[in-house]
Structure 1
Amino acid sequence: MYKLDIDREKFWNGCILAVIAHAVMTAHYPEFSFEQSWDGINYNVQNGAGTRGTITFHDELIVAAFRNEQSGRLHRNDLTQTAQKSLHNAPSAVYEVAMSETLQYLLDELDGQTIPLITTLFYCVNGDFVSNDNIEDLFEHGAEIIQTQLLGYTDEAMKRWQDYYEMTQEQSDLVLSLFHRKLQNPGTEIRLTQVEANLIGLENAEGIEECRESLEELGIVLPI
């Protein structure tokens, strides 16, 4: 097993920042709404190039699993065993969370069976992140999709999201405001004012609806 140089709080902050930036900017890019979502304790991320992943934040445990359709592991005979092998030495609590939460988002059909198909996985227990893969192999086989999230809440991470979504300064400021409010009161509903909603730049019905749905996954409510 490899011990990974990942900080739990930093990783959490990076995922929250990413999904808020995404939710705000789906107003302008509704066709990319599939790229990020939040479902209960599960953060889902994917791109249009065949890579997807789910990160489960469960109390003190984190389980992150990925499937990269370009990975050579997809062509190996032992693909059906990847999830089991990745969790072979994991504590029982990690295994249970992975099977009941994380891997449920990575199911696929193989030989007439619906099973979790992944190409790499890591988990955190007692503050330590570990994996059967080192960080280079993790990135090669799917985890590269969360490279920006692993930066946490940093100027570099925010700059990447600004560039990716071509944010205005007003949109960037709103994302940061929502990020800080979410961290301070994670379980409290956040209601945007009309002035804040106007900063998003809501322009069409499809964008408004996608933005509303993405924000509501985070407990953030647009004005009617």
Structure 2
Amino acid sequence: MGSSYGLFVKGMKQIIPVAAAGIIDGIVFGLLARQAGLGVTEAVLFSLLVNAGSSQFAAVGLISQGIVGWPILLSTLLLNARHLLYGLSLGPKFQGTPAWKLSLMGLGLNDETYALKATYLDTGGKPSLAFFAGAGIVDYLIWNASTFAGAWFGAAFTETEAYGLDFAFIATFLGFLAVNLFSSLHVKVAGCAAAAACIGYWLGGGTAAVIVGTLTAVVIGAVNGER
């Protein structure tokens, strides 16, 4: 019990720098949600129930254009498809773990927590549900508190671009990338994925860029025997 508690606290502490980078993202999402016509309660429930930054941004973008229903569901499905890859990456480390425990861990698996978990395991950390639970809870609380702050003060801002806040989400992902470039192969994969994503964006917009870039990285990693 003591060991599990220690790992739980360790996860809570180590996620803070990563999750803190997403504070601006949460605030910006809250602002955009208000501008799209959502109320404070609706914006907060969005983060409480969905908890997937990129798909939330895509959804409020569609809502602001008057688009609702299946286009939102489809874009969310495609953007969150990368979470399947996250699970495939971490899954082998938890062989023999009951499905219900894996399901709980999956609820807290997103871009920020995956970045921490992958780095933790790659640097010799032992698979620990307690560590991941601590990280997931803190990340969840920070994201939702940030969303509430942005939604509450949303009426005071009319254009996030004027403050450069629209770049916050991109900057967060660039930070994740920078701390995970461990070898020349990682740099090459990142470069190829970025080029493929640019082509995907040119052909089909943001959703296509995410899918094409992700698949490119996966294929190159698989060919080179990387996880």
Same fold (TM over 0.5): no
Normalised by the length of structure 2, the TM-score is 0.24
Task: Identify, as 1 or 2, the structure richer in helix.
Answer: 2
